[in-house]
Structure 1
Amino acid sequence: MDLVERSGAKTVTKGGIMRLEKSQGKVLQATVVAVGSGSKGKVGDKILPECGGTKVVLDKDYFLFGDGDILRKYVD
């Protein structure tokens, strides 16, 4: 399991391409802040998780995702 912090999608890609407003809300990006034993991820990974996850409220809102719930890692 990975504990992640969600963030909104960026409006402009690294290559300078602007994303349409209606597609921005559909993309959920997240950063891994903690990993459980046996996890394939590591802290600081930027990921695209599936919708859902288990909400955990600490000092902020975080979400728990299993390795199977992570669609892919990406480089910002």
Structure 2
Amino acid sequence: MTVKPLLDRVLIKMEEAEETTKSGIILAGSAKEKPQIADVVEVGPGGLVDGKEVTMYVKKGDRVITSKYSGTEVKLDGVDYTLVRQSDILAVVE
């Protein structure tokens, strides 16, 4: 199944949460912090959003940092993705 985001939306796959701390303590599922770094899977075309022209700055394959609780979580073919607006992306990691 393929998903093509609309307008200024970006489909991302979050990186896995750390299982252990730097000192070697294994974390329980509820203690893991939600990751903020993700891989861009698909990017919408941009265009006119709320009366303003939006140019897409991220591209497929970029690693990005997102707002902590942004987006809509989606499960496709057993894989968890998040659909966010480009404005919820804070930075591109190089």
Greater Rg over alpha carbons, structure: 2
4+ residue segments displaced more than 6 Å = none
Alignment of 1:1-76 (within 5 A): 1-8=9-16, 25=33, 27-38=35-46, 39-50=56-67, 51-59=69-77, 60-75=79-94
Q: Are the counterparts in 1 of residues 10 and 86 from structure 2 also a CA contact under 8 Å?
A: yes
How many correspondences in the alignment? Answer: 68
TM-score by length of 2: 0.59
Unaligned runs of 5+ in 2: 1-8, 26-31, 47-55
Structure 1 residues 5-51: Cα deviation after superposition (integer angstroms, max 9, x where no partner): 000367xxxxxxxx688xx8264110000000113210000001112
Q: Counterpart of 2:4? A: none
CA RMSD of aligned residues (A): 2.6
Unaligned runs of 5+ in 1: 11-18
Q: Secondary structure at the match of 1:34?
A: strand
Kindly state the Cα deviation for residue 73 of structure 1 after the two structures are TM-superposed: 0.7
TM-score by length of 1: 0.71
Q: Secondary structure at the match of 2:57?
A: coil
